[in-house]
A and B are shown apart, each in its own frame.
Chain A
Amino acid sequence: KAGVTQTPRYLIKTRGQQVTLSCSPISGHRSVSWYQQTPGQGLQFLFEYFSETQRNKGNFPGRFSGRQFSNSRSEMNVSTLELGDSALYLCASSPLTSGVADEQFFGPGTRLTVL
């Protein structure tokens, strides 16, 4: 079974621009979560989508948004980029078989650099 894929793997943008990141979950997984990883803050939860609906959201400004398509693929958008948005953005999919603490399978991430 193919793992979680994320595109692009690397991205360089300038302040003020916007960016869209893509995530394809493992086949059959309906839950997709997004995280931001930085050296100082670690992994911080952005949001989670299940069946095209945002179920939960972390404490990030409205510049960060996402969506999920009917095939469970998900996109994340960051508008008006700031230098502090430079980070590794990780996508994780989950089968949600038991409903409690299901394992999350992470993709390799998209390394975003904002200049």
Chain B
Amino acid sequence: QKEVEQDPGPLSVPEGAIVSLNCTYSNSAFQYFMWYRQYSRKGPELLMYTYSSGNKEDGRFTAQVDKSSKYISLFIRDSQPSDSATYLCAMTLNSGGYQKVTFGTGTKLQVIP
């Protein structure tokens, strides 16, 4: 079983819809939780970063962490065609003074105009 599980999709939604992307994890030692967005033929770029359980909002994006359930989510409100990309969750833990990052496999999102 992978440490981080993420549904690969693809997820197809109409423009303006609310999108929910999710990851589950098994290692309770994970400390920081991130969401990256990766456009086709590009490297991932950091979208959101959070540490504690609860919600963090940034514009149309909300990151949610539930440490008790080992579950994180990314919500996109008023989705736009430009949001079409692969979204990767990532988590870090302290391993010998070094922050070890583990990525999910990514969910491919398509927003249809």
| Residues in chain A within 8 A of chain B (CB atoms) | 4, 35, 39-45, 48, 55-56, 90, 92, 99-109
Contacts and interface: CB of A to CB of B under 8 A. Distances in A.
Interface stretch (B13-21, B55-63, B70-78, B96-104): B96-104
Given A42-B104, A45-B101, A101 B46 contact: no
B105 A101 contact: no
B32 A101 contact: yes
A27 to B, nearest CB: 17
Q: Is the interface of B mostly helix, strand, loop or mixed?
A: strand
A92 B42 CA distance: 12
Contacts of A99: 99
Given A4-B43, A43-B103, A100-B32, 15 more contacts: A35-B103, A39-B8, A40-B105, A42-B6, A42-B88, A42-B106, A56-B95, A56-B98, A90-B43, A100-B94, A101-B32, A101-B99, A104-B101, A106-B43, A108-B42
Give the interface size bracket for B toward A. Answer: 20 to 34
Contact of A107 (B43, B88, B102, B103): B43
Nearest to B46: A103
B43 A42 contact: no
7 contacts: A39-B8, A42-B105, A90-B43, A100-B99, A101-B34, A103-B46, A104-B101
A10 to B, nearest CB: 10
> Among B92, B102, B103, B104, which residue has the most Cβ atoms of chain A within 10 A?
B103
Across the A-B interface, the 5 shortest Cβ-Cβ residue pairs: A106-B43, A42-B105, A43-B103, A101-B32, A101-B92
A4 to B, nearest CB: 7
B12 interface: no
